[in-house]
Amino acid sequence: MHDDGTKSSIPKTSHDQVILQGTFESGAVLSFHLRGGTPFKGTPGMTWRIYGEKGELCIESHAFGMSLGTPLKVQLHDFETGQVEELEVPNLVQEWQDGGMPPMAQMMGLVYEAFAKGEGYPDWEWAVKRHRMIEEIYARGGGESV
**pLDDT for 40-50, tens place per residue?**
888 888 888 88
Confidence of residue 66 (pLDDT cuts 50, 70, 90): low
Confidence of residue 77 (pLDDT cuts 50, 70, 90): very high
Looking at residue 11, what is its pLDDT?
A: 81
| Digit-coded pLDDT (tens) for 4-16 | 777 778 787 777 7
Report the distance separating Cα 33 and Cα 56, nearest Å.
18
